[in-house]
Amino acid sequence: MNISTQPVVANPAVTRRRLALPVGLAAAGIVLLFIAPDVLPTYLVNTLIRAFLYAAVAITVDILWGYTGILTFGQSAFFGLGAYAAALTFTHVGFGPGTALMAFGIAIAGAMLVALVVGWFAFHPGASALYGSVITLVLPIVVSQLLYSGGSFTGSSSGLAGFESFDLSLEAWFRITAGFLLVITAGAWVFVRSDAGRILEAIRDNEQRCAYLGINVSRVKILLMVACGAVASCAGFLFACVQMVVAPEYAGFAFGTELLMWVALGGRGTLLGPVIGTVLLDSSTSYLSGSLPFLWKLLSGVAFVIVIVAMPQGLLPALLNAVRRWCRLGTRRSAARAREGALRVAEPRPLAGLASVGRFALSVEDVHKRFGSLQVLRGIDFKVRPNELLSLIGPNGAGKTTLMKCIADGAERTSGTIRLNDHDILRSPPATCVALGAGRKFQNANVFESLTVAQAMRVSRTRLEPPSLLRRASVLALPDAALEVLRATGLDKQLDVASRDLSHGMKQALELAMVLALEPNVLLLDEPTAGLTKAERTQIGAILLDLTRNYALCVLLVEHDLDFVHEISSRIIVLHQGQIVLDGSVEEVVNSELVREVYAGAGAPGEHA
């Protein structure tokens, strides 16, 4: 990648390589659809029909778990809902084109509604990751128990069988289910490689960073849950139509766990791994469970443990890595990736959506913060203008980081008012504070470890440039300030490097560039030079001065390095025991006896104020 103001034309070699997989899949699909059902034995065709439908559900598990990090046991419940929507309608209302359409509508709408409710409970703002997993674990248990207790209506433990369905041959069902799996796989493949799909990986890597980049993580997860629920339900509907038998086990917890095992064995976060894993394991189970009923369970359990211990990423990634090493494709691939696109300067869109920009970029009025009985901030009052670099200093535990949190997240403070550009942040979450102009850089470099520099920068632009669900843009538009940080630190030459491979200083710079990509006008920096070398510190200082002077930024800087603070600040606030003890110019603070006493731990501030 290079920096340019002109869009680049896609490299044909790269385009060819990108198309290789979908073209290969399409060819395999054609073989499956038109040849396989005529040449394979009937039993295998029957087994594969079921495996294809299970594989489609496994893809939804992979998207939720492998790509987004949501450990879900609940996809079986949606499969069961779809299957029972068909079985109940055909049993109690009768079969016909109209009722089939109605059953399909019920399957999809019902699953989406359940997913919406479950998704909200699991992922509402404030819900922990564990809470989400527990809810998805409870869902199949509740659904299967409801089916068990449904009496003759649901068929209880025997389920429903013998209802009328579409009069199609086995070959036709094979082609329909294989086509369904291909469409779902291709759709998922396009989505996870798109710019929107990249957000899933960002959420898996670092949910907190996503929220502070203005991404509504809860909404993304709920929407994903709804879409994945609909696909799983569709697979269940087809399953009931083909098999003409349903049972509560198909909606149960055991099936939900089995789906996780297939995804883990195939290789989560790969799409194809779970498909291959599910098809192979489910078909072999059909063959071997009859002849080796107990031994087969034991063998598959042992295989699962071995793969998880020896190849935690699953079989497909392990296999691909071995092939890549053998063919020495790795280096060529990264060279090809390096030519994928370009950076350009974005049209500035400062504070889009805000009615007016006030005289003060930030105003903090009588802010208090308590943790239980511990009073951490007491009546904090100050205002900052654009073009001001205000440093917040004070001994350890003075409340500096807590104050930064209160400015970037409306839910943090106990009382008081905070305004960003004349807008009261009220109790707004971080994503809303970002929209009001705040950009927060954390104390420790808070980046997306598995994303490359370019990918991380693209994710940072999500709020201002909604990403495509289908495509990956070859040109990345960034505001001047972010580009300057990338250039000054040399990150523009490392756009294809994964963040985890960057040095600590580079990670700090990357996080700063990501925050600047939000086009904030209130920049909150918590110890940006922590752990940096002297040279890196000087470089960051120069960048901050430049940002304050040339981009009308209001910078609020928490720092322990007093020399650094003296060099770059336009004003300094000294915090001690949760109170402002001095708010003045650099000279005033440098010459203050009170500040010396505070740092020496001599006397409480109230004694001198």
Residue 8 vs residues 3, 348, 477: alpha-carbon distances, Å: 10, 21, 12
Q: Given the complex with ligand ATP, which of 326 and 371 has the nearer CB atom?
A: 371
The torsion defined by the Cα of 254, 255, 261 and 266, in degrees rounded to 10, comes to: 170
What letter represents residue 2's amino acid? N
Q: Given the complex with ligand ATP, which of 31 and 604 has the nearer CB atom?
A: 604
Q: CB of residue 396 vs ligand ATP: minimum separation in angstroms?
A: 4
177 lies in the site for ligand ATP, by CB under 6 A: no
399 lies in the site for ligand ATP, by CB under 6 A: yes
The whole-angstrom separation of Cα 609 and Cα 596 is 14
How many residues make contact with ligand ATP (CB under 6 A)? Answer: 11
Q: Given the complex with ligand ATP, which of 57 and 407 has the nearer CB atom?
A: 407
Q: CB of residue 277 vs ligand ATP: minimum separation in angstroms?
A: 42
Among residues 284, 286, 401, 450, the one that binds ligand ATP under rule CB under 6 A: 401
Q: CB of residue 527 vs ligand ATP: minimum separation in angstroms?
A: 7
For 286, half-sphere exposure in the C-beta direction (CA atoms, 13 angstrom radius) is 14
Q: Given the complex with ligand ATP, which of 138 and 411 has the nearer CB atom?
A: 411
Q: CB of residue 432 vs ligand ATP: minimum separation in angstroms?
A: 22
Residue 564: what are its φ and ψ, rounded to 5°?
Answer: -60, -45
Q: CB of residue 433 vs ligand ATP: minimum separation in angstroms?
A: 18
H-type alpha helices, 244-353: 253-266, 272-291, 293-310, 315-327, 329-337
371 lies in the site for ligand ATP, by CB under 6 A: yes
The whole-angstrom separation of Cα 421 and Cα 534 is 34
Q: CB of residue 514 vs ligand ATP: minimum separation in angstroms?
A: 22
Residue 81 vs residues 61, 118, 225, 336, 383: alpha-carbon distances, Å: 16, 14, 15, 45, 56
Site string for ligand ATP, 269-308 (x = CB under 6 A): ----------------------------------------
Q: Given the complex with ligand ATP, which of 82 and 399 has the nearer CB atom?
A: 399
Q: CB of residue 208 vs ligand ATP: minimum separation in angstroms?
A: 14
Q: List the one residue out of 52, 33, 609, 12 whose CA is nearest residue 283.
A: 52
Place of tokens 């003045």: 584
Among residues 182, 398, 482, 522, the one that binds ligand ATP under rule CB under 6 A: 398
Q: Given the complex with ligand ATP, which of 330 and 397 has the nearer CB atom?
A: 397
374 lies in the site for ligand ATP, by CB under 6 A: yes
Q: Given the complex with ligand ATP, which of 65 and 442 has the nearer CB atom?
A: 442
Q: Given the complex with ligand ATP, which of 399 and 410 has the nearer CB atom?
A: 399
Contacts of residue 328, defined as CB under 8 A and 6 or more positions apart, other chains included, come to none
Q: List the one residue out of 111, 56, 115 whose CA is nearest residue 85.
A: 111
Query: Do β-strands 522-526 and 438-441 pair in parallel, antiparallel, or remain unpaired?
Result: parallel
Residue 5: what are its φ and ψ, rounded to 5°?
Answer: -100, -5
Q: CB of residue 597 vs ligand ATP: minimum separation in angstroms?
A: 17
397 lies in the site for ligand ATP, by CB under 6 A: yes
Site string for ligand ATP, 375-394 (x = CB under 6 A): -x-----------------x
Residue 542: what are its φ and ψ, rounded to 5°?
Answer: -65, -40
Contact residues for ligand ATP, defined by CB under 6 A: 371, 374, 376, 394, 396-402
